[in-house]
């Protein structure tokens, strides 16, 4: 599929996150980082909300609920 150039407005913190991700995993290629992040987001959002809530409940009912990585995962469930 052909790529298009578009303009978007992003918070500086989001731009910083994209830059960090692109340097870390994509040799500085911001387009590749953004595409990967969007695909990952779409994959997570394609999971039915009831399943995401079940995942949230399972994570919340563990001893390690307050762990930073667990909190990040819960944020990623997009509920």
* Chain segment 44-60, per-residue pLDDT in tens: 889 998 998 888 888 77
Cβ-contact 45, 78 below 8 angstroms:
yes
State the pLDDT confidence band at 23, using cuts at 50, 70 and 90: very high
pTM above 0.85, yes or no: no
C-alpha 49: how far from chain center: 16
Q: How far apart are CA 68 and CA 18, in angstroms?
A: 20
Neighbours of 48 (CB within 10 A): 8
CA distances from 26 to 4, 21, 32 (A): 20, 7, 7
């Amino acid at each position: 599929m052909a790529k298009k150039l578009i303009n978007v407005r992003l918070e500086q913190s989001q731009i910083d996150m994209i830059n960090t991700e692109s340097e870390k995993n994509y040799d500085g290629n911001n387009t590749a980082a953004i595409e990967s992040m969007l695909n990952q987001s779409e994959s997570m959002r394609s999971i039915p909300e009831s399943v995401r809530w079940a995942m949230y409940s399972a994570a919340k009912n563990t001893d390690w609920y307050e762990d930073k990585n667990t909190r990040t995962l819960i944020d990623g469930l997009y509920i």
